[in-house]
């Protein structure tokens, strides 16, 4: 089966779209040796990420098996995961006290 999206490590909670995915379709996600089917709840462009599970606000976002940021809102399974609902934890001069 061709892959519509790819997740790198088993512990990842987001996958990367390998083509433009439309809301309502089922994306076949390759993850290491396995494959999983994720119903898309919104459109996700090529190269962008979506949630493999329901991710609640405050949860670490995992890609390459590593933390790439934190959810700033609940992200339902199959929803676009990007700058509108993920924040970086690094280089945050805005969070430095007194600034």
Indicate whether 94 belongs to the interface with another protein (CB under 8 A): yes
Give dist(CA 27, CA 87) in Å, integer: 25
Indicate whether 36 belongs to the interface with another protein (CB under 8 A): no
Indicate whether 1 belongs to the interface with another protein (CB under 8 A): no
18 versus 41: smaller Cβ distance to another protein = 18
Stretch that binds another protein, among 21-29, 34-42, 51-59, 79-87 (CB under 8 A): 79-87
Indicate whether 31 belongs to the interface with another protein (CB under 8 A): no
The tokens of 11 are what?
A: 């512990």
> Nearest CA to 87 among 69, 73, 75, 74?
69
Phi-psi group of 28: left, alpha or beta (phi > 0 → left; psi -120 to 50 → alpha; rest → beta)? beta
Indicate whether 9 belongs to the interface with another protein (CB under 8 A): no
Phi, psi of 94 (to 5 degrees): -70, -20
Indicate whether 54 belongs to the interface with another protein (CB under 8 A): no
Give dist(CA 14, CA 55) in Å, integer: 9
Residues that bind another protein (CB under 8 A): 2-3, 6, 8, 16-18, 30, 45-49, 61, 63-64, 66-69, 81-83, 86-96, 99
């Amino acid at each position: 089966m061709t892959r519509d999206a790819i997740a790198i490590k088993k512990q990842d909670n987001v996958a990367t779209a390998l083509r433009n995915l439309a809301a309502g379709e089922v994306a076949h996600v390759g993850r290491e040796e396995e494959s999983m089917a994720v119903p898309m709840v919104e459109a996700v462009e090529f190269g962008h990420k979506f949630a493999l599970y329901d991710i609640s606000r405050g949860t670490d976002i995992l890609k390459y098996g590593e933390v790439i940021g934190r959810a700033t809102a609940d992200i339902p399974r199959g929803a676009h995961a990007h700058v509108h609902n993920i924040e970086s934890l690094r280089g945050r001069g805005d969070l430095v006290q007194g600034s």
